[in-house]
Structure 1
Amino acid sequence: MNSALQDFTKGLNKNIKKVKEELHDTPELYVRQIQLDANGDNIGALLYIDGIVNTELIRESIIEPLHSIRIKDKETFMNTLACYHIRSENVEVITSISSSIEGILSGKTLVLIDGFESGILVDTAQWQQRSVEQSVRQRNIYGPLISFSEQLKVNLNLLHSMIQSPTFMVEKKKLGRVAKTDIAIVYLTDRVDQIALKEVHNRIDSLHVDYVLESRVVELAIEGTQKTFFPLSFITELPDAVASALYEGRIAILVNGTPTASIVPNVFVQYFQQPSDYYVKQIKLSVRLMTIISFLVTILFPGFYLAFAKFHDNLVSKEIHKKFFEQTITILPLWAEVFFLLLLLQLLGIGSYKISREMMLVVSLISTITIGTTAVDAKLVHPISLIVAGIAYLTSTMLTVGTLQGSLQPIRYIFIFIGNFFGFTGMAIGLLILVIHMSRLRSVGVPYLAPIIPFNFKEFKDVFYRGDLRKLINSPHKYPHDKKEKS
């Protein structure tokens, strides 16, 4: 912005002209001239963007008070007007054009009075938004059914209702050079990991972008420059999951316009902790162990199948091997069958989110015929290959918490390659390399595999099994940090 246009002048028309120029004379900018007293000696103007403000609120909180006011002391008039006459909870006296532009674009109304080198911003925003609804991507079988919306104020309201504590802290920032986007950093002051909080601030402050349209921009900055398939920030749509994370000393980052929250530090064991685990009385080992086993099956089972069929078929009797492998002739090689089936299932999963609900039945029917009956009858794929691919895909559905599910697909394909060419030995080495890689990852300085690597027995109350809830609630969490973070 031109430095000559930074501050208001005493001329009302000049100030209006400057604001119009900075908004490129947009027809959406409304300028409402207003007379302050019956004699018409003093005039003012209201400037706002049509469609994003509540006009009834403008009339009641600004126009009616201005009609009955008189200017007595020019030195204190603007402050007196803002503090005692304008009926709004959010009022701010400003002197710069840049501040007025940001306010108008965020749904505020600018009040200008002739003869004064300042203006007043009044919050009159009325954004269109959907009501708080149940999440369709991350469902809670038990517990709260509500999820975040696209409005930052609504999301913070949901968290305030769940955490009614004076230690609940919300820090707001604006990101973007061309367009400003509000973000909120949320944590509990008495429980938060201070080292992680400092790192979050440093990484967000170092983010310089023209605009922030998606929360993924902020997530990339928080995750750092580490190369990995695994997500280093935990993404959720559920307010109760965020509230639980805050009680554990973590930090949540919310971006206006995105119905999700990013939680850090993110540790790998979080993806096995389903929100419903904490609302029901159950066998403490069952669901948690099933989820861990599902993780291993979904990434290793297809590769294990190929390694077994190619290198280790002597582990079964000759009759079984002859019946299931030698006597069945298919067009594609075995590795291509598995790859082709997994790819088809992946396409079906992605397509189910993109097509209309009316088309779901048709697509499901065609997929069943194509992948099942036709593929087997046409000798394109082996029946066992179809079963293996189906099991690998079904077990991945147990890992819908966060964004881990999408990260497992490339890892699964890597183990398919290893199993097909190097057998069980290669897969064991590949799994060891994967564990080493995960142990080197850091989420804002916290080891990704904590508390397993580095080992901390005191933190195992909620890893492989859900411990007693009373002990979990009363046990503060401590996160290990490297002496020098490797980002």
Structure 2
Amino acid sequence: MRTSTEESSLQEELSVILAQLQQRLGNSPDLIMRSIRIPSSPTTHVTALHIDGLIDKQMMNDSGLCSNLAGSGSDLTTHGSTIQEGVYSLLYNHASALCEVSTTRTLDGVLASILSGDTVLLIDGIAEAICCGTKGGESRGVDEPTTQVVIRGPKDSFNETLATNISLVRRRIRNPDLWLEKMKLGKKTQTEVAIMYMKNTVDDELVQEVKHRLQKANLSAVLESGAIEEMIQDQTATFFPTIYNSERPDVIAANLLEGRVAILVDGTPFALLVPTVFAQFFQSPDDYYNRFDVGIFLRMLRYICYLISLLLPSVYIAAITFHQDMIPTTLLISIASARDGIPFPAFIEAMLMELSFEVLREAGVRMPRAMGQAVSIVGALVLGQAAVQAGIVSTAMVIVVSITGIASFSTPAYNVAISARLIRLFIMILAATLGFYGILLGCIVLLAHMCSLKSFGIPYMAPFAPFRLFDQKDNILRMPRWSFIKRSRLIHQEEAAESWGRAMNASSKDSSDSKGE
């Protein structure tokens, strides 16, 4: 009886190996097999195999692997002790000059190479296959980002091809310290995953922890980076994302220079960044491409809008239900007259409007792009006006829900914005039962929970908790670039000076000296 190793080896005749490959792939019609005839040795058979649509046909045609061998009339024994070895040597040397070449001695290795987009050359009588790196096929080009749009800055974004995404990062960081490691995840999909980091900047223990978690993730299929994100995060029972994702190469490059680790997954345009802190989700590339005063204003505006989207409906419910004496008399009379005849309490009224707004938002996202915005805007106007005229909700509640919805769109990161939408519902329940005391209790519990979170060993609320005065220059405020002399102490091995910071200081010193002269 044969062992499994013998069954998967390439010791059989070429016809038997080809039959086994076809059987393993279910006689798939996209398995292309090209037989090559050698004039100087008609008895030696060579077959080139690849999957249609996974290879770069232009590279295959330009390389001339098949035509070069078929047209060779030289004595092949000069390349080896036998004709078969001569054919193998000629093919290997010719392929090595044109593309990346590897070899395999097992049937499983041949299948893995074919399914990865390589072209495999099998020679009758040689128990070793030549795998030529001809990965290619149809892919989406480099387009503008769709989820992180900026007014000023680069307009390129990642696509679904891993090699393209890696090149976009390397074009921005031309430094030998930018290291890259690859692995395959997913027992069934065998998805290629790349880990990128700055060797002399990142903490070595962080890199080892990332590798350990990726290898430990027991995944049968990896179709998007979200599957990896869910498996390697520190804590699952939380509304807040503890791993940052982005489709912008400039954002990934900037965070790599700060000492973070990037995880790029083949087949998705979204790269992951670890570790992550809460303040990072409110930072936009616009903050660094504009003047620092503009960046300060925009960033503070995002924090205010996030608080509005989180607490405004709850504050309205608590004020109307329990704390009418805290509302100015004129405003209270106006609200009371608008609520005259409304059959529902403020909490039910707010829940109806919130759920209606969420339905419209989801419908706008799922509708075709040409119709989505029109459906969401027209639907909100029609439903709001109809609800007010029917006496189901008050005009004040429509205004509150509208402001809350608009404020939620100002958050740069979608996963943090949707966390506020979920938490808002629980705080509304507390406001309807305990008033402002319930809101305060909910905020205390929420802050305690956020302070307990960690992202790859880094406190999630850093540098607010624990508080670090040195690291406050790029959180709520975005100070001028010349103030960023040292790196953050949270994610780096050492507090080394930034090269651009030294250059900035040197240039400013030279300019001051020239003015003095």
Q: Would you say 1:81 and 2:100 are equivalent positions?
A: no
Q: Using the TM superposition, give the Cα deviation of residue 77 of structure 1 relative to its aligned residue in structure 2, in angstroms.
A: 4.6
Count of matched residue pairs: 480
Q: Could you tell me which residue of structure 2 aligns to residue 64 of structure 1?
A: 67
- Letter aligned with residue 303 of structure 1: S
Q: Could you tell me which residue of structure 1 aligns to residue 322 of structure 2?
A: 311
Q: Could you tell me which residue of structure 2 aligns to residue 96 of structure 1?
A: 106
Gaps of 5+ in 2: 493-517
User: Structure 1 pair 168/365, CA: closer, same or farther in 2 (3 Å)?
Assistant: closer
- Letter aligned with residue 398 of structure 2: L
Aligned counterparts of 1:319 and 1:455: Cα–Cα separation in 2: 42
Normalising by the residue count of structure 2, what TM-score does the alignment of the two structures yield? 0.88
Aligned counterparts of 1:441 and 1:192: Cα–Cα separation in 2: 21
Q: Would you say 1:212 and 2:244 are equivalent positions?
A: no
User: Structure 1 pair 316/39, CA: closer, same or farther in 2 (3 Å)?
Assistant: closer
Q: Would you say 1:427 and 2:446 are equivalent positions?
A: no
Secondary structure of 1:184's partner? strand
Aligned counterparts of 2:146 and 2:6: Cα–Cα separation in 1: 51
Q: Which residue of 6, 11, 32 maps to 1:9?
A: 11
User: Structure 1 pair 215/361, CA: closer, same or farther in 2 (3 Å)?
Assistant: closer
Which shifted more, 269-278 or 365-374? Answer: 365-374
Q: Could you tell me which residue of structure 1 aligns to residue 515 of structure 2?
A: none
Q: Could you tell me which residue of structure 2 aligns to residue 465 of structure 1?
A: 477
- Deviating 4+ runs (over 4 angstroms): 74-79
Q: Could you tell me which residue of structure 1 aligns to residue 301 of structure 2?
A: 290
Q: Could you tell me which residue of structure 1 aligns to residue 232 of structure 2?
A: 222
- Letter aligned with residue 65 of structure 1: N
Whether the aligned pair in 2 keeps the contact of 1:8 and 1:117 (CA below 8 Å) is: yes
Q: Could you tell me which residue of structure 2 aligns to residue 321 of structure 1?
A: 332
Q: Would you say 1:203 and 2:213 are equivalent positions?
A: yes
Q: Using the TM superposition, give the Cα deviation of residue 13 of structure 1 relative to its aligned residue in structure 2, in angstroms.
A: 1.4
Q: Could you tell me which residue of structure 2 aligns to residue 116 of structure 1?
A: 126
Q: Using the TM superposition, give the Cα deviation of residue 252 of structure 1 relative to its aligned residue in structure 2, in angstroms.
A: 0.9
Whether the aligned pair in 1 keeps the contact of 2:69 and 2:91 (CA below 8 Å) is: no
Which shifted more, 139-148 or 7-16? Answer: 7-16
Q: Using the TM superposition, give the Cα deviation of residue 480 of structure 1 relative to its aligned residue in structure 2, in angstroms.
A: 6.6
- Letter aligned with residue 350 of structure 1: E
Whether the aligned pair in 1 keeps the contact of 2:184 and 2:192 (CA below 8 Å) is: yes
Secondary structure of 1:285's partner? helix
Q: Could you tell me which residue of structure 2 aligns to residue 479 of structure 1?
A: 490
Q: Could you report, residue by residue, the CA deviation over 1:217-239 in whole angstroms, capped at 9, with x for unpaired residues?
A: 11012213441000010111111
Secondary structure of 1:372's partner? helix
User: Structure 1 pair 368/408, CA: closer, same or farther in 2 (3 Å)?
Assistant: closer
| Mapping 1:60-459, distance limit 5 Å | 60-61=62-63, 62-67=65-70, 68=72, 70-72=76-78, 73-74=80-81, 77=86, 80-81=89-90, 83-86=92-95, 87-283=97-293, 284-325=295-336, 328-360=340-372, 362-364=374-376, 366-401=378-413, 403-459=415-471
Q: Could you tell me which residue of structure 2 aligns to residue 20 of structure 1?
A: 22
User: Structure 1 pair 90/378, CA: closer, same or farther in 2 (3 Å)?
Assistant: same
Aligned counterparts of 2:358 and 2:297: Cα–Cα separation in 1: 28
Q: Could you report, residue by residue, the CA deviation over 1:312-370 in whole angstroms, capped at 9, with x for unpaired residues?
A: 11113445423312562213321122112122222222222211133236514641443
Whether the aligned pair in 1 keeps the contact of 2:251 and 2:285 (CA below 8 Å) is: yes
- Quick one: percent identity of the two aligned structures? 29
Which shifted more, 314-323 or 390-399? Answer: 314-323
Q: Could you tell me which residue of structure 2 aligns to residue 45 of structure 1?
A: 47
Gaps of 5+ in 1: 482-487
Whether the aligned pair in 1 keeps the contact of 2:36 and 2:45 (CA below 8 Å) is: yes
Whether the aligned pair in 2 keeps the contact of 1:10 and 1:116 (CA below 8 Å) is: no
Which shifted more, 204-213 or 399-408? Answer: 399-408
Secondary structure of 1:301's partner? helix
